[in-house]
Structures are given as structure tokens and as C-alpha cells.
Structure 1
Amino acid sequence: MSKLLLLLAATTLAGINTHKQVHAVADTAAFSTPFSTDQLEVVEDINGNNNLGVEDNSPSGAYEEIEEMGNAMESAVKTEPYDNEAVLRVAGDATVTLAAKVLTAASEARMQEGMDAPAVNTVISPLGMHQSLSLAQLGATPDSPSHEELKVVTGVNVPEIDEQSGIGALHSALMTEGSPLLLANSVWSRPEILPTYTEAALTALEAEARQMPEDATEINSWVSSKTNGLITKLLDDDTVKDPLLLSVLLNAVYFKAAWKVQFDPKLTTTGNFTTRGGVVVPDVPYMHMKVGEAKVIVENIPNLGKITAISLPYANDGYRAILLLPDDGLDVHEMVKYVFSPMEGGNFAQPGSPEAKCEPDSTRWCHISAKTAYREWGSTVGLFLPKFKLESGVMDVTAPLKASGMLREATMPNRGGFLRMTDDTAAHIDRTLQKATMEFTEEGTEASAATATLVSTRSLARPRIFRLKFDHPFVVVIEHEPTRSVAFAAIVEDPLQSS
């Protein structure tokens, strides 16, 4: 199963940057990557070009690499029996890969804009993307290029007889009694969608089967109810009324958890926050806490500087926020690219250590996540963390995933790629849209996301819009440690900038 795991090693970090005050204690780091559609607009034209800094055509050899990974996974499946723990591990790692692809694309775009670009925050839910695309996998034609591709994207590459249980494994593992994280799925369909598909979606992911409404009101109402009113609009009427739209594969994620040790509001003070371009933002509220047994690590990025990572547990076992803070002078986006890139030279961890579970070609995130799970700093850490509330616009994440080679076949019409969903051979994934929120307070964290994968009957020439937000760089990743799933991730450049 080792070949399975190397495919999906990339994670989301939950963290908040605290600049000068956090730097006063060299043991504190904030790593948060916000991705918002309100700030950076990226338009992809009909030739597939976009200003994310990448071509819609993947770099030379990228798609071949995806095919090789799929072959490796298929080979592993043929030689090993169904193993639920292994499936969970790889599915969790798949959320890391989704985080890495979207955050890295966002960081590359920000770096191209330069240090003087206005602050932009980004917040995403890799878990939400994973659940929505898992619904698509259930409808993909067995052994078709679309099916093979989606198995790589979700990490669920098991014999067809086990596919429904494999796709539902992560959902079941996270939806435990008393969990601070709630997942909800639904399938909104026109008559062309087969009842056998909606039954499979209900069995695997507890997805409600709904008829496609006349406008977006009912869908947005469902999203609002599942996100505790944090997200009230995901789709517009024109999208739902589009006669070429066959189905909306919808996921909602809601997370609300208290810190294991809460910040004392009486210790919250205001201070300055410095953006990437050196702009000083005054009167930022900083929460303060002295952490006696802090899980803190310091990593050196050769020729660039150091990053500090700290793990903050929630009261609910299994969930924590990991915050990454770059040294002064180190661009947060350089840090993002480094953290989500593969380890050079393989895994040299000591046998038996948590890092030893990382595959030889895993990303540095796997090692950072593992180390912050057990390494104590050895002295008290004075943590200064800004309060913030982020809200993204509606993001189309299809372009960065296509550019990385992850969603190519599944987005091509007239390939017969979704015959378990519909008899229409032109059915394909048109877009995957997401809106997310995240708030950090003295009490804890509240976050939500809604993700819709739109399945249409043929390709439409429409612009792809991306907007991105970042601020004096810090990244936030909310992780379910047992499955290594990244529920949410954010990069914060300006904590006073809510959207």
C-alpha cells in the first residue's frame, strides 16, 4: 500500500500569523492559507489560458505522471485485499493533495503579482472538494479514463465491489457521535440522472436525492441550513436554470470546536500587523496565552529562512489547528510552496518515529504534521495570535486542478465518462465551485464550506473566475489527525480584512 500513500501526501495547515509579537517568542508559527474570490480575479479564456501562473495544459509530463500514479494504485489494489485503515489513510492524504494543488496555485499567482499587491486572504476546504468529487466518482463509468482519474483524485482505488464502502469510509470515520465536524451531501438532478446512481450516493455518502429546482433558492437554502447560516448563497439562478446542467453534486462542511485550553479574553490586546508589502495594519486584536507544553518545531528552508510551526488542540479529540509562521523576510507564499513540495532525497526519519509513516516521496507537510503531533518545545511559549474572520467568494477550483493534471478526462465531454450516472455520453464535470468561511476567537474556531460539482451535458465556453486573499502571511490548517484529513486551510495576510 506504500505506493498508494505516496500519491496523496500534501496537507492543510491551520494557523495564524502574528508577526512581530509572535516573533518575540521564536517558538510560535502561524501557517494559514486563505483563498478568496473577492480579491484576485483569474479569467481562463477558451484557449485554456489563465493568470494563475500556469497553463491549463499541464507541464510536460504532468499528465503522464498522473497516469503512472493511477497505474501504481491499480497495481497495489490487485495485490492487496481491501483494508479500511489503508483506504482511510490514502483518502485523508488525498485531501492534503487537493490543499497543496489549490494553495500552491494561489501562492504562485500572488508571487507573480509582487510584494506590493494588496493583501488577500484565502480560505478553502479540501475535505469539501474531496466529498463533492467522491460523488462524481460514484457516477463515473468503471475503468474509463474519467474513473481512473477520479480514483487518483480521491485516493479511493479499490475493486469495484468495494467502491461504495471505500468512498464512504472517510465520511463514516469523520461523522462520529459528538464530532465538531458535520458533513452533508446531496444530489440535485434532472430526469436524465439514473436512480441507481442516486441510490449509490445515498448508500456511500448519505447523499439526499433532490430534483433540480427551477432556480437556486432551494439549493442555497439547503446550503444555509447545513452551514448554520454561515453560507447563504453558493449558486446563482442562471447556473441552475442552464438547460445543459444535468446534476449538482453538493457537499456542505460545518466545523465548530472550542480550544482545549481557551484564550482569556482579558489578555487580548491590540497591536500592529505587517503585510507582505510592508504595510502596517494597526489595532489588530491579538489573543495571548502562555503554553507550557507546546508542540512546536522549527524548520529551516535552505537559503530562504526558517518557519515555526505550533499545534493547538481542540477540546474534541483528534482535531487540532497547525499554524505556520515564516521568519521576517520570508514570503508566506514561498513557505507554502516549500511545505507542499516533495521531500528531497526521500524519507530519512528514524524507524518507529511518527515521521517514519510518511512515504519516501511524501511532501514536507507530512513530516511537519507528524513532528508537531509529539515534539514538545521544552519551555513555555508565549503565543500571540490575531483574531480573524475570513469569508471567500465563490471560487472555481477546476482550473488549478486541471492545470496540475488532476481533472482532465473527467472534464472532457463526449467521452462516455459518467455512464453510472446517466446514459448521456456527453456528461462531464463542468466546474467545481466552493465558498468557505473561517473564524478564530478566544473560545475556539467556527468554519464552514459548501462545494458544488456541476455535471453538464457538453462543454460551455465561459470564463473561469478565481479570487484570492492573503495577508502578512500566515497559514491555517484544520486537521483531523487520525485520518490526516485537512478539513480547512487558510492563508491570512490581513486579519482585519474579513472578505
Structure 2
Amino acid sequence: MTSIFQQVALFQPWQNSLVSPHGVASVLGLLLPGADGNTHQQILTALSYENSSPDKKLGDLHRNLTKSSPGATVTIANGVFAQKGFEMKGPFLSAIERDYQCESRDLDFSDTASAVAAINGWISDRTDGNITSLVRPDMLDGPLTRLVVVNSIYFKGLWKSPFRPKDTKMGIFTGGDRTKHIVPMMSQLSLLKTGTASTPAGLLYTVIELPYQEDTLSMLIALPPEGTLLSAFLPHVGVATVQSWAGLLRLRSVQLSLPRFSVEAELDMKGPLLAMGVTDMFIKNKADFRHISSEPLYVSKVLQRAKMEVSEDGTKASVATASVLLSRSSPLLVTVNSPFLFLIQHNPTGTILFIGLINKP
């Protein structure tokens, strides 16, 4: 589902972007048991499951990703909020609770302020206060709203090879609009996997992997040459491309400079999903959710808020890395001082938890 990120990035080419493909897949997956007909088929196609249901696979993956670990925190909350008076069917509620730990709740959307407060309070409680505001009153359609599907994800990871705060210096980052910004640049000399990849048009770009203490998770950074229009680079980045990077990366001594950054995004996924062919579920007279309710039902909003922090955190583990910082050969210099793509990957499955663009740290 990296294609949904490409759709989002096209709508905001000069902004920082952050999408959780796994989060969007989870939302579509939890709607699947309630869908039928063309609505069901469109969701299956978007999930790349033409002939089978992804419920069990997505449910198992969800549980694996949220396992407690001292080196990484992945907090995922899924919720379905329906207009009061719509009685949801038991088998559907049981399925989404079992596979996605998803909760359901009735709200009176005609009282917009109360509905917004209830949804935001629910999200805050289930993300330990990391995300406190997901929806605004202008995102809802008042008394016309029938169903709101919410996915919220918070990620915080500790580097396997941490950056030392004393090595962070101010440096110049040239944004996507060519504006120069003075930003804190973290720095480290370490053994990291890196390599050079190419687009079909021959554009070369650098890929570097930064592992977290939790070995199942890594950040991958793709850095095209400074001055490259990301619109010429993004269409190339799909699941197959990301999978191909593993064969290009080699462990070597790297002197890495990376901006400290945090990125937070709240997105209405309706536009990107429409562009991917998921249309019927948003149309009142076409949506087929007969397995959710006996009354006609359609999706009003699919909202996602994602948050990520990238900093020097993890320096308490620095003693373990001290002996591997020296190399007989000159280290490769990698300075991330222009727009770049990053993603967080669950290595055993290849699942992309987050994918984003930094145009300005």
C-alpha cells in the first residue's frame, strides 16, 4: 500500500509527509467483514488480496507489531464510531474485536462538539496521551455522518547505534523549495548498511539502513541527489523497489549526518483511496455494508493521524557500540541535508509501518 503514500505526497509536494500503510490496511481490513458485493471486492483489490480474506494475516501482524519491547514502542488504536440508532451486527463486531482489537461506539454526530471530544478522548486514552487530537468539528458532516473509522499510530524507537548529543551541530538543510534552513544535524561514525540504487530513468540515489535496538525494526532512508525533484523519484518507490534494496546494501564504515526531526500528520484518506479505486464505500447509494447493519450505511471519513520522533535517543546503549566505530578504510560520508524519503520497516515480514518525506526538518 505504498501507493497511498504516493497519492498523499502528490497532494502536498513541498510539505513533510507521513503515512502508515499498515494503518490504512488495518482500517480497510476491519471494514472487510462488514462489506459485500462490489464494495467488498474494491477493498480486497486495494489490499492486493483478490481471492482471499486478509483478516487473519493482518490480525496476526497487528499483534506482533504491538508486542512490548524495551527498544521500540508501537502503539496502534483502531475504532469504529457509528451514529446512534444504527445497530451493528454481532458477527462483525466480534470479528473486528478479535482480529484488530478494534472497539466500537455509538455517537450523536448532530452534537458535533461532543462527538469530536469523545473520539479525541478515546484516541488519547489508547495512545497513552501521545496523540490528543485527531478530529476537528469541520471534519464531520454533522447529522449526515453515519460512520467514522479511526486509526492512530505512535512510534518511538531506540537506535541500535545511537547518536551522541554532544556530536549534534547546527547545519544547513536545503528544502524542496530550495530554501536553506539551519537545523540540528546529528552525527555518528558507525558500521551501517548502505548502497546505491537507480530509478528506471537512471537517477541514482543513496539508501542507508539504521537499525533499532529491536532487531525486527529498521529505518531506511533514500536520499536522491540535492536538487532532484521528488516528483521524479517518488513514482519509483513501491513495495518491489523497497524489497530490492536489501540486495544492494552492504555493511561498511559510514560517517552519517542526519537532521533531528519530528513529523506529525493528520490525513483524511478518502481522496487517496478514491484514486486507488476504493469508491463505492463512500457513496450513499452504492456502499454495501450489509454485514455491519441492516440499515443502509456508508463511510463518511477515514482518518489517520501518525506521529514520529527521530532524535539521538538511545545513548545509554552507546558502550556496546564503541568497539565497532573504527575502520581501516576511510568511512563513506553520507550527509542528509536535502529532501529525503524515509520508512520504518518490520524486517521479518517486509511490512512498512510508516513512510514519509522530509522537505524541511
TM-score (structure 2 length as normaliser): 0.83
SS in 1 for 2:250: coil
Kindly indicate whether residue 348 of structure 2 is the aligned counterpart of residue 474 of structure 1. no
Alignment CA distance shift 1:236-1:176 (3 Å):
same
C-alpha displacement of 1:299: 1.4
SS in 2 for 1:371: coil
C-alpha displacement of 1:124: 1.6
Q: What is the percentage of aligned positions where both structures have the same residue? A: 27
Which residue pairs with 2:173 in the alignment?
A: 273
Alignment CA distance shift 1:290-1:120 (3 Å):
same
CA distance in 1 between counterparts of 2:201 and 2:39 reads 41
Aligned partner (choices 123, 127, 132) of residue 223 of structure 1: 123
Gaps (5+ residues) in structure 2?
109-113, 315-336
Which residue pairs with 1:192 in the alignment?
A: 86
CA distance in 1 between counterparts of 2:155 and 2:339 reads 23
CA distance in 2 between counterparts of 1:268 and 1:211 reads 49
CA distance in 2 between counterparts of 1:187 and 1:173 reads 22
Does structure 1 retain, via aligned residues, the 8 Å contact 2:79–2:151? yes
Does structure 2 retain, via aligned residues, the 8 Å contact 1:228–1:254? no
Superposition CA RMSD, Å: 2.5
Aligned partner (choices 199, 203, 206) of residue 301 of structure 1: 199
Kindly indicate whether residue 250 of structure 2 is the aligned counterpart of residue 376 of structure 1. yes
CA distances 1:161-191 after superposition (whole Å, capped 9, x unpaired):
xx65344232233233436212222222333
CA distances 1:132-171 after superposition (whole Å, capped 9, x unpaired):
2222112112xx01111111223455657xx653442322
CA distances 1:430-474 after superposition (whole Å, capped 9, x unpaired):
332222222210016xxxxxxxxxxxxxxxxxxxxxxxxxx9411
C-alpha displacement of 1:319: 0.3
Q: How does 1:101-140 map to 2 (within 5 A)?
A: 101-104=4-7, 106-107=9-10, 110=13, 119-140=14-35
Which residue pairs with 1:489 in the alignment?
A: 355
Aligned partner (choices 439, 461, 479) of residue 309 of structure 2: 439
Does structure 2 retain, via aligned residues, the 8 Å contact 1:288–1:385? yes
Which residue pairs with 1:325 in the alignment?
A: 223
Q: How does 1:317-466 map to 2 (within 5 A)?
A: 317-340=215-238, 363-368=240-245, 370-371=246-247, 375-377=249-251, 379-392=252-265, 394-405=266-277, 407-415=278-286, 417-425=288-296, 427-443=297-313
Which residue pairs with 2:157 in the alignment?
A: 257
Kindly indicate whether residue 187 of structure 2 is the aligned counterpart of residue 288 of structure 1. yes
SS in 1 for 2:105: strand
Alignment CA distance shift 1:246-1:263 (3 Å):
same
Which residue pairs with 2:67 in the alignment?
A: 176
CA distance in 2 between counterparts of 1:204 and 1:396 reads 24
Alignment CA distance shift 1:156-1:404 (3 Å):
closer
Which residue pairs with 1:70 in the alignment?
A: none
Which residue pairs with 2:144 in the alignment?
A: 244
CA distance in 1 between counterparts of 2:144 and 2:204 reads 50
Does structure 2 retain, via aligned residues, the 8 Å contact 1:397–1:433? yes
C-alpha displacement of 1:421: 0.6
Opposite residue 199 of structure 1, the aligned amino acid is: S
CA distances 1:6-30 after superposition (whole Å, capped 9, x unpaired):
xxxxxxxxxxxxxxxxxxxxxxxxx
CA distance in 1 between counterparts of 2:234 and 2:291 reads 38
CA distance in 2 between counterparts of 1:132 and 1:104 reads 17
CA distance in 1 between counterparts of 2:130 and 2:203 reads 38
CA distance in 2 between counterparts of 1:249 and 1:230 reads 19
Opposite residue 264 of structure 1, the aligned amino acid is: R
C-alpha displacement of 1:391: 2.3
Which residue pairs with 1:210 in the alignment?
A: 105
CA distance in 2 between counterparts of 1:177 and 1:212 reads 32
Higher strand proportion, which one?
Answer: 2
More relative contact order, 1 or 2 (CA 8 Å, 6+ apart):
1
CA distance in 1 between counterparts of 2:85 and 2:282 reads 21
Kindly indicate whether residue 101 of structure 2 is the aligned counterpart of residue 235 of structure 1. no
* Structure 1 range deviating more: 433-442 or 407-416: 407-416
Opposite residue 262 of structure 2, the aligned amino acid is: K
Opposite residue 403 of structure 1, the aligned amino acid is: A
CA distance in 2 between counterparts of 1:159 and 1:306 reads 38
Does structure 1 retain, via aligned residues, the 8 Å contact 2:77–2:127? no
* Structure 1 range deviating more: 296-305 or 255-264: 296-305
CA distance in 2 between counterparts of 1:207 and 1:396 reads 19
Does structure 2 retain, via aligned residues, the 8 Å contact 1:140–1:419? yes
C-alpha displacement of 1:248: 2.4
Alignment CA distance shift 1:334-1:130 (3 Å):
same
Aligned partner (choices 6, 29, 45) of residue 152 of structure 1: 45
Opposite residue 371 of structure 1, the aligned amino acid is: G
Does structure 2 retain, via aligned residues, the 8 Å contact 1:130–1:154? yes
CA distance in 2 between counterparts of 1:327 and 1:205 reads 40
SS in 1 for 2:134: coil
